Amino acid sequence: MTKVTLRKLKNLSYISRMNRVILFFLLLAALPKVNGQSTDAPKSDSLSKFDSFNTKAEAFFKVFPVPIITYSTEAGNTFGLAKFNAFHPVKKDTISKPSKLSEVFTWSTKGRVNVSVSNDLILKGNKYMFLSFFNYRKVPEYILGIGNDVSIDNVEEVVTDRIKFSTIGLFRLKENIYAGYSLDLANYFKVVTDSNSFIIEDNVTGVKGGTDAGVGVTFVLDSRTNRYNASDGAFFLANLITYPKFLGSDYQFTRFELDGRKYYNPWRKHVIALQTTATFIDGNVPFYDLAMLGGEDKMRGYYKGALRDKVLIDAQVEYRMPIWKIFGLTTWVATGRVAENLKDFSLDELWLSYGCGVRIKVDSKSDINLRIDMGFGPGGINGLYLNFAEAF
């Protein structure tokens, strides 16, 4: 393992190889029906053909997973499958919001593995919610350092072997208000980096891996009518979780997370979405559990975890608009930073993210989109993200 350059970071860390294949399959199917259209209003028979084709495409993707076949110098040939479904566990329960099941499996000829299963289970007329996530991965992370005062020219590649399971169980107290428990279990059983990495030279906490075992309490307010493509209402989450040694954690620390979102409709089917999140960590936290800036949902364009520390605050505003039939566009701007503690946090040296994206509806009944986002930041930072459901 060697220190990687900024150019290499752009080329391999920000672009999801799985998502490029999803884009290929969906657009390959959709574009032939769009090409050749004049600038005039489409004829009714053309619209009928497109609607018929789209209905068949939706039915196909509800049953069959998307195959993944990609290649890169770093990963080699990558193969896998991806799947997303919204459903009602009890067909007679027409009041509950749709549940979801999402799965991804990828394997590369150079030993990179990622297996993820996430599930939102909504039951009894929205009275109970169980949100679970399982993941095994052996993939590289790209770290600029710990703290906000870092340089994008000093990127290090760290490979971790991790298995993780987390779940949140919620019980409705009154309309749109929930409380419950959270559980987080993980084992980082292998950490590989360059011998002159700051992680080794500074003997950073977590350099040898370790076990997480955390329990906590969660409070949620959720008045959104659609969890996966919200256009109205609000969402607020407060999650306090502690990782004590008597439960089996190798490192003892506490994490407190806040997530607030609000949605407005200035015009019909146009949405302005706002989100602010904050993370505060206290204790002897390993580097792989620090609050991380970036990713496919927040501060898009930055590799998740490129910046990390004990305190993180970020915010974003996004504008979503329909274009034609199943297609839409979105644009956003975001900002945030990390710090060692709250007293050191300031509005100086904020990192900036901005970008735009395309939306393709893949489930009309549950109003779920495939999103294709391109995020940017100063200094040539950029990232391409494809996923199901909105970023927030």
pLDDT of res. 73: 61
Q: State what percent of residues in the chain have pLDDT above 90.
A: 58
In the structure, what pLDDT confidence band is assigned to residue 21 with cuts at 50, 70 and 90?
Answer: very low
Higher pLDDT, 157 or 49: 157
Q: Tell me, what's the pLDDT at 387? A: 83
Share of the chain above pLDDT 70, in %: 87
Domain boundaries, the chain: 6-388
Kindly indicate the confidence band of residue 43, based on its pLDDT and cuts at 50, 70 and 90.
Answer: low
**Mean pLDDT along residues 300-315:** 94
d(CA 337, CA 349): 7
Q: What is the pLDDT of residue 245?
A: 96
Average pLDDT on 178-204 reads 93
Q: Which residues pair with 340 in a beta bridge?
A: none
How confident is the model at residue 39, as a pLDDT? 42
CATH class of the domain at 6-388: mainly beta
Residue 1 pLDDT exceeds 90? no
Which position has the higher pLDDT, 58 or 346? 346
Angle at 84 between CA 81 and CA 88, to 5 degrees: 145
Output the pLDDT for position 288: 95
Instruction: Output the pLDDT for position 334.
Output: 98
Cα distance between residue 314 and residue 293, in whole Å: 8
The candidate with the shortest Cα–Cα distance to 212, out of 172, 243, 257, is: 243
Environment class of residue 359 by beta-carbon count within 10 Å: exposed (0-12), middle (13-18) or buried (19+)? buried
Comparing 236 with 54, the larger pLDDT belongs to 236
The two three-digit tokens of residue 264, written as one number: 């407005």
pLDDT tens digit sequence for 240-259 = 999 999 999 999 999 999 99
**108 or 73, higher pLDDT:** 108
What is the rounded average pLDDT for all residues in the chain? 86
> Residue 17 has what pLDDT?
43
Query: How many residues does the structure list for the chain?
Result: 392
- Least reliable range by pLDDT among 39-53, 127-141, 273-287, 374-388: 39-53
Tell me, what's the pLDDT at 38? 41
Q: What is the pTM of this model?
A: 0.84
3-state secondary structure the chain: CCCECHHHHHHHHCECHHHHHHHHHHHHHHHHHHCCCCCCCCCHHHHHHHHHHHHHHHHHHHHCCEEEEEEECCCEEEEEEEEEEEECCCCCCCCCCCEEEEEEEEEECCCCEEEEEEEEEEECCCCEEEEEEEEEEEEEEEECEECCCCCCCCEEEEEEEEEEEEEEEEEEEECCEEEEEEEEEEEEEEEECCCCCHHHHCCCCCCCCEEEEEEEEEEEEECCCCCCCCCCCEEEEEEEEEECHHHCCCCCEEEEEEEEEEEECCCCCCEEEEEEEEEEEEECCCHHHCEEECCCCCCCCCCCCCEEECEEEEEEEEEEEEEECCEEEEEEEEEEEEECCHHHCCCCCCEEEEEEEEEEEEECCCCEEEEEEEEEEHHHEEEEEEEECCCC
The tens digit of pLDDT for each residue in 258-288 reads 999 999 999 888 999 999 999 999 999 999 9
Is the model more confident about 303 or about 206?
206
pLDDT greater than 50 at residue 45: yes
Summarize pLDDT for 354-378 with one digit per residue, the tens. Answer: 999 999 998 888 898 989 899 999 8
| More reliable by pLDDT, 355 or 55 | 355
Instruction: Place 72 in a pLDDT band, splitting at 50, 70 and 90.
Output: low
| Model pLDDT, residue 32 | 39
Q: Which two tokens stand for residue 231?
A: 């256009």
CA distance 392 to 369: 12
> Among the ranges 106-110, 192-196, 309-313, 381-385, which has the highest mean pLDDT value?
309-313
- 270 near 251, Cβ under 8 Å? no
Pairing of strands 145-146, 307-309: parallel
Report pLDDT for 3.
Answer: 41
Is pLDDT larger for residue 17 or for residue 209?
209
pLDDT at 40 over 60: no
